[in-house]
Amino acid sequence: MLQSSLAVFRYELKKSFGIGPTIFWLCVIVFPTILQILIDHTGSTVPEEFSGVLLVGMIPGAVCLMTILSSMAPYLNTELEGNTWPYVATRPHGRTAMMLGKYFVSITRSIIAGFLALVIIFPATSLNKLNRDIPPPISISENTTGTVNASQEPDGTAEVKAIVVDRDEPYPLWVSLSILVVLSSVCYSSLFCLLGTIMHKKPMILAIIYTLLVEGVISMLPAVVNAFTINFYLRSMFLRFMGWNLTDLPNELSFINDPNMFSQATSFWDFVSLLVLCTGFMLIANALLRNREYHVGETL
Q: Could you report how far apart the first and last alpha carbons of the chain are, in Å?
A: 31
Judge if 194 and 86 occupy the same domain.
Answer: yes
Instruction: Say if residue 223 is in the same domain as residue 263.
Output: yes
Q: Is the domain of 187 the same as that of 256?
A: yes
For residue range 102-156, list pLDDT tens digits in order: 999 999 999 999 999 999 988 877 777 766 544 444 333 444 444 444 444 455 5
Residue 241 lies in a domain: yes
Does 119 lie in the same domain as 144? no
In a domain, 244, yes or no: yes
Shared-domain flag, residues 175 and 163: no
Residue 45 confidence (pLDDT)? 63
pLDDT, tens digit (0-9, with 9 covering 90-100), for 205-217: 888 898 889 888 8
The per-residue pLDDT for 90 is: 80
Does a structural domain hold residue 298?
Answer: no
Domain total for the chain? Answer: 2
- Would residue 236 count as lying in a domain? yes
Residue 30 shares a structural domain with residue 98: yes
Please indicate, yes or no, whether residues 252 and 163 belong to a single structural domain of this protein. no
Q: Is residue 297 part of a domain?
A: no
Residue 51 falls inside a structural domain: yes
Task: Confirm whether 62 is domain-assigned.
Answer: yes
Report yes or no on 296 lying in a domain.
no
| 35 and 150 co-located in one domain | no
Res 276: pLDDT:
95
| Containing structural domain, residue 160 | 136-169
Q: Looking at the whole model, is its pTM more than 0.75?
A: yes
Q: What's the half-sphere exposure (Cβ side, CA atoms, 13 Å) at 112?
A: 12
Q: Are residues 142 and 189 in the same domain?
A: no
Q: Which of residues 123, 147, 169 is at a domain's end?
A: 169
pLDDT averaged per 10 residues in sequence order, the chain, 300 residues: 86 88 91 85 66 82 90 88 81 88 95 93 76 47 44 49 47 86 95 90 86 87 83 88 68 62 85 94 93 67
Residues 9 and 116 grouped into a single domain: yes
> Are 82 and 155 within one domain?
no
Same domain, 158 and 257: no
